[in-house]
Structure 1
């Protein structure tokens, strides 16, 4: 076999092993070292020490060091810690109830409140599993008790919970910035309007769907509505402090006052202050937040080490070149290239999660952007929208499994999948809108930081 053929075999084996359930980070690491040993093999080892003289071990060491010294990635543990602290601040239940009361006159008020809560909480947390799990425990029982259709309620929670990987400050965008060597500030600015647009389309869909079929979401009873003064007070207490924290973190980044890492540190401190404000700052909760942050950060770091080792070997064997040459020789128009790339990423979302797609497959397309004259930040936003589908597309659809895990026998998995389907169509519609009107993604970063020049 030629080296490029070995590279393609390497990629196919990775997909098969992931589908079989092997841990992603260590699968990448093992395959990178295994195939790298072949790729960098120079001479027959004569002693035991010669077995470890292969350059793959030097590459592994360098990649590990590069990940640990990457300044961009420092923001990840700090944003994670902020999210875990806010999650334990007992604010989400107040926020959901007050938003529900404020939106009670809208069709599907509980569903609208759930989406709004997901959008706000996702912005503060950015942890899809945490948002879907918490909202599954909080919002789904409320909707079920109010007579909402089960699949309709489940779809709302799963779709709303995934907004955290798109709306800044998003951990996914930090990872993308490191992979694509892009400015995280520009990525955050580019993601603001697409994130708000997608959340808005979800809310419009819910309202229109309930107007067409009111049986999906019965109206609340008048006796359950508290006085307006109490509603406003609840909104003031639950909504304003969290919104101010998010605005300070995001505003300091977009305003150029702080790097993402510095803003994340401020957000982590703000999360502790917020927890103290709600009288939920205890040693046990802080300890849990630190433990979960360390666990998630270690996973991300090993994922980077494994993926960069895998990608380095794949590229050394000629894998990137053969795919790049194949695409370029198809003589595609730029729009055809964008459709092909997004279609591949969408299909990969069926068996894989966003992290695998982003770290392994997106770098295959990045070197082709100059050839087709595609703005890398515009492409990043298309990918970020598309990656929403990796949480919503069966058979993986991790948001569905998160929800099923907390609801257990209250709902069947097929019902959750059925509730997700309309939101997949909305994501695709949002991508089409952004393609037709690129300013949705590019106007704000160009306004704040000047027009992008390659």
Structure 2
């Protein structure tokens, strides 16, 4: 029984989280409980195979979290995203795209996809993107005769692009964890001057797969509109303009809605890709740019600013509390010999590194039903990451595979988070079954992207090598 304590610890964490307890407290509390059990059993002379020396590393681990320059990008990117959401930049952008493409069959769906991509590149928050797009675009699409399943599926799928299109908060957190895992893997292999993998590398690696997914979505919407016009009919531009309440011309609306956020995204991503700024420095540029845009749109007053700062503080403290809880969990898991157990399991698995990678991807996909990407990033990746990387996997490729896998789990019924976000803001006339049906083609496209990356890893690794 005691030799299975690492598995029991992991199962206990999942059970506690499923009961709805706060994530950070669940991780830390359960880990402390199991640590106390281990120390207690050792004290009364029962060999629990618990190495208490791991706990001595906790103060240094916590200090490293609080002084980590990479993680400083998290509150700044969150601030940037919340500012853009509150300043109604997305609303103006969606109106401009709808007027530009709405007069063609499937045009509203294509405009939603493009705006979702730009919002993903500016906010990086899945929930905010899905809710915003659901409130703004779903009523218009349904009123214009779009199929309920196509409209809801498109909104959910484009909302999850925030997981993969940089600058993504998920990639920032994943990059920090993978860098530590990569260093640990090299030390385990006897390399005492280990290389690192930066968040900028992950950003560059995610760019091509993210854009391919966007193109896949648009092609799908276009094919549906071509073969089944009744599911995605064209809209009259004049009627649409009157409905949206815009009296100015399309050119002025595009200039106002499209240019500012695109300039901001180019400034943030361009500075990272060119090597001019680190992701942390670029996040500061993005936050300042979002503040300027909010002022320019005259959407920033003291009440809004307080709301923005409160939201940013809430998300940031949540992330860092989870980090602390995950660090404690990781140390207790290793103290019970969990890392050796997982290593032996992977080494004995048929198929070698391929079999181990398939199993890990399947486990992450299933855990995505019940856990958020933050918990999976800080609980699962530190356990399996060093082992897979020591088996020879490319860290950038592995990071992008995990990110797209988590993106897919956001969409998968019945527990996909994106489905819950949209269900919360969709009209009562939209059945939940229609939302579930609508996301199925997009799930298949994302699984197809995983297969493409499996057979063509250069899609993720080529761009980082060029820079």
When normalised by structure 1's length, the TM-score is 0.91
- Alpha-carbon distance between aligned partners in 2 of 1:83 and 1:380, rounded to the nearest angstrom: 23
- Alpha-carbon distance between aligned partners in 2 of 1:90 and 1:19, rounded to the nearest angstrom: 35
Change (3 A) 1:5 1:355: same
Deviations 1:176-225 (A, max 9, x none): 12211231111111111111111111111111122222121221125426
* Superposition deviation, residue 65 in structure 1: 2.6
Matched, 1:173 2:174: no
Deviations 1:350-387 (A, max 9, x none): 22222222221122221223443211111111111111
| C-alpha contact (below 8 Å) 2:224/2:232 kept by paired residues | no
- Alpha-carbon distance between aligned partners in 2 of 1:447 and 1:351, rounded to the nearest angstrom: 38
The aligned counterpart of 2:117 is 119
The aligned counterpart of 1:205 is 220
Deviations 1:100-124 (A, max 9, x none): 2222354311111111111101211
Change (3 A) 1:118 1:222: closer
| C-alpha contact (below 8 Å) 1:40/1:56 kept by paired residues | no
Q: How does 1:169-248 map to 2 (within 5 A)?
A: 169-181=167-179, 182-221=197-236, 223-224=238-239, 230-248=249-267
The aligned counterpart of 2:452 is 433
Q: How does 1:55-454 map to 2 (within 5 A)?
A: 60-181=58-179, 182-221=197-236, 223-224=238-239, 230-448=249-467
| C-alpha contact (below 8 Å) 1:148/1:216 kept by paired residues | yes
| C-alpha contact (below 8 Å) 1:39/1:313 kept by paired residues | no
Equivalences, count: 438
Secondary structure (helix, strand or coil) at the match of 2:380 reads helix
Deviations 1:379-398 (A, max 9, x none): 11111111102211123211
Change (3 A) 1:232 1:223: closer
* Superposition deviation, residue 8 in structure 1: 0.8
* Superposition deviation, residue 145 in structure 1: 0.8
- Alpha-carbon distance between aligned partners in 1 of 2:128 and 2:68, rounded to the nearest angstrom: 26
Secondary structure (helix, strand or coil) at the match of 1:394 reads coil
| C-alpha contact (below 8 Å) 1:99/1:113 kept by paired residues | yes
Matched, 1:11 2:30: no
Secondary structure (helix, strand or coil) at the match of 1:275 reads helix
- Alpha-carbon distance between aligned partners in 1 of 2:433 and 2:57, rounded to the nearest angstrom: 45
- Alpha-carbon distance between aligned partners in 1 of 2:58 and 2:230, rounded to the nearest angstrom: 58
Change (3 A) 1:304 1:285: same
The aligned counterpart of 1:452 is none
Secondary structure (helix, strand or coil) at the match of 1:330 reads coil
* Superposition deviation, residue 295 in structure 1: 0.2
The aligned counterpart of 1:23 is 22
| C-alpha contact (below 8 Å) 1:95/1:235 kept by paired residues | yes
Change (3 A) 1:284 1:55: farther
- Alpha-carbon distance between aligned partners in 1 of 2:75 and 2:439, rounded to the nearest angstrom: 30
- Alpha-carbon distance between aligned partners in 2 of 1:60 and 1:290, rounded to the nearest angstrom: 30
Secondary structure (helix, strand or coil) at the match of 2:298 reads coil
- Alpha-carbon distance between aligned partners in 2 of 1:417 and 1:356, rounded to the nearest angstrom: 25
- Alpha-carbon distance between aligned partners in 1 of 2:300 and 2:317, rounded to the nearest angstrom: 25
* Superposition deviation, residue 40 in structure 1: 4.1
Bigger Cα displacement from structure 2, 343-352 vs 397-406: 343-352
Bigger Cα displacement from structure 2, 209-218 vs 158-167: 209-218
* Superposition deviation, residue 331 in structure 1: 4.4
Task: Kindly report the root-mean-square deviation, in angstroms, between the aligned alpha carbons of the 2 structures.
Answer: 2.1
* Superposition deviation, residue 61 in structure 1: 4.3
Change (3 A) 1:408 1:141: closer
Secondary structure (helix, strand or coil) at the match of 2:249 reads helix
| C-alpha contact (below 8 Å) 2:54/2:331 kept by paired residues | no
Deviations 1:220-267 (A, max 9, x none): 125426699922221121111101111111111111111111111111
| C-alpha contact (below 8 Å) 1:103/1:112 kept by paired residues | yes
Deviations 1:116-138 (A, max 9, x none): 11110121111111111111110
The aligned counterpart of 2:189 is none
The aligned counterpart of 1:49 is none
- Alpha-carbon distance between aligned partners in 2 of 1:388 and 1:191, rounded to the nearest angstrom: 12
